[in-house]
Structure 1
Amino acid sequence: MCKSFSIVTGILCGFWLAISCVHQVEAQSKGVKNVVLVHGAFADGSSWSKVIPLLESKGLKVIAVQNPLTSLKDDVAAAKRAIALMDGPVLLVGHSWGGVVVSEAGNDPKVAGLLYVAAFAPDNGQSLTDLAKTFPPAPGNNQVKPDASGFLSLTPKGIHEDFAQDLPETERRIILATQGTWWAKAPGEKISRAAWRTKPSWYIVSQRDRMINPELERKMAKTIRATTIELNASHVPMVSQPAKVATFIIEAARSVNSKEFVSK
């Protein structure tokens, strides 16, 4: 009797130990600690300055890429250098033009998920221009002007009324003074393979966006089957509503499966 009881007890202990190990493995495969932030056109890495400390306060390691904005190839290379610096799986976040960059750079095997912030999400062989022409243009597009060297910038009116209209004037002036010029041929460059087709995605729609048609943002979010939220914000919600953007990024980082990517 005692012997039989000992055998049963041993089996039960082994069973519960096995279950515990499975739960530990599942916990280890859930979530990432590394976040790479990719800015859009007419901006630089400082566009994430309000979000970065909020992410770091939750234990996330963060790198904000400084895109040269000289070509899709150059910007993808800059993002991949940042990804390579991380010590594990990465959540790759892109704003605006940065969405095109992360759609290509996201094919890096270290990238576990993609998050788009009012961003373009092109499909295989598609460019920003291809996507943009599927919906009526947003009014801010009229304020994009080329210079003699073949680079684009936004007019003061474009910054103040279309790009960052929900920010205080002092912040809008800083964005105007620090904006990065963008190679004029970049919008027409096509990505080769869309990473969102094989990796889980998240999307923030900006309801008051005057640079990308919000209806186009909703369509892209649906196309990539992204977990989506909408913010009553301009084209730069990470500047005007950093806490909400950071919370969404943190939730995505915690929920992404870092061991097995979700196939779409």
Structure 2
Amino acid sequence: MSSIRNVVLVHGAFADGSGWRGVHDRLTAQGYRVTIVQNPLTSLEDDVAATTRALDLQDGPAILVGHSWGGTVITEAGVHPKAAGLVYVSALAPDAGETTAQQYEGFAPTPDFVIDVAEDGFGLINRDKFKAGFAADTSDADAAFLRDSQVPINMAVFATPVKNAAWHDKPTWAVIATEDRAFDQAMLQHMARRIGAEITNVSASHALFLTQPDVVADVIVTAAKSAL
């Protein structure tokens, strides 16, 4: 059985694709062809379209990887015929007909993860809470850069239901940060179990896509070797 050689990385809210640099470097060093999606974060439809464009460009099957809000995006976009497997990195995983916001119901609040919403409906993580809520295991300098380069997200996306849930038909893996302050840990574990993911736990903050590139890359390689 041949291994999949293509990987598509999808970032989450408040971030951009540059946070995947460590994962990108580790995968490309092993011969993988990596494409990094830049989500506009303006609507679920727009983010799915950006991911679909990236999948259209692949020359064969690909592993589709999503962090945080990117999990909702790959859940919808993953029905693409070139998406052979899904990797959820501390990521949301709604079912068809569900909204992202519904995933939080019944789970504990996250007081360190504070979103300030502007009059236009776009949100950013509170500057004073950013490191504690998003990137507690980064240096002060890296946390400050992530804070200052935040990409605002249209908060309406969290109330938009997904039409398809690719995890019903595609093999799935999950990397979960055990020190995540953006989601209740029980919520992350529940979502990963519900989608039937092979789960890897790692001591990290919500920014594990940046701070744990070895672990994330290793899971992606595992998926690439076994998804076909």
Same fold (TM over 0.5): yes
Partners of 1:33 and 1:134 in 2: CA distance: 39
SS for the counterpart of 2:120 is coil
Name the counterpart of 1:220.
191
Letter in 2 for 1:140: D
Q: How do 1:1-264 and structure 2 match up within 5 A?
A: 27-28=1-2, 31-141=3-113, 143-257=114-228
Cα deviation, 1:36-82, whole Å, max 9, x if unaligned, reads 00000000001101110101011110011000000000000000000
C-alpha separation in 1, matches of 2:201 and 2:155:
30
Q: Calculate the TM-score normalised by the size of structure 1.
A: 0.84
Q: Cα distance, 1:186 vs. partner?
A: 0.7
The alpha carbon displacement at 1:137 in A equals 2.1
What whole-Å deviation, never above 9, does each CA across 1:104-128 have from its counterpart, x for those lacking one?
Answer: 0000011101000000000110111
Aligned-partner Cα distance in 2 for 1:134–1:195: 24
Distance (whole Å) between structure 1 residues aligned to residue 118 and residue 213 of structure 2:
32
Post-superposition shift, 1:252?
A: 1.2
Structure 2: gaps spanning 5 or more residues: none
**How well do the aligned residues superpose, as a CA RMSD in angstroms?**
0.9
- 2:209 and 2:155 mapped to 1: Cα distance? 25
152-161 or 191-200, which deviates more: 152-161
Q: Quick one: distance in 2 between partners of 1:67 and 1:137?
A: 26
Q: Which moved more, 1:208-217 or 1:97-106?
A: 208-217
The amino acid that maps onto 1:220 is: M
Instruction: Quote the offset at 1:148 in angstroms.
Output: 2.2
Q: Provide the C-alpha distance between the structure 1 equivalents of 2:176 and 2:215, rounded to a whole number of angstroms.
A: 12
Amino acid at match of 1:154: I
1:230-249 Cα shifts (integer Å, max 9, x gaps) = 00000011211111111111
What is the aligned partner in structure 2 of residue 12 from structure 1? Answer: none
Percent pairwise identity:
41
TM-score (norm 2): 0.98
Contact 1:144 1:158 in 2 (8 A): no
Cα offset, 1:212, TM superposition? 1.0
> What is the alpha-carbon distance in structure 2 between the residues aligned to residue 110 and residue 134 of structure 1?
35
- 1:152–1:182 CA contact under 8 A, matched in 2: yes
Whose helix proportion is higher, 1 or 2? 1
* Runs of at least 5 residues in structure 1 that lack an aligned partner in the other structure: 1-26, 258-264
Q: Kindly state the Cα deviation for residue 131 of structure 1 after the two structures are TM-superposed.
A: 0.7
Secondary structure of 1:36's aligned partner: strand
Distance 1:235-1:244 versus aligned 2 partners, 3 A rule: same
How many aligned positions are there? Answer: 228
CA deviation vs aligned residue, 1:122-175 (integer Å, no higher than 9, x gap)? 01101110111231222234x101112210001122311110011000100110
Q: Is residue 125–residue 193 contact of structure 1 (8 Å, CA) maintained in 2?
A: yes
- SS of alignment partner, residue 112 of structure 2: helix
CA distance in 2, matches of 1:148, 1:246: 39
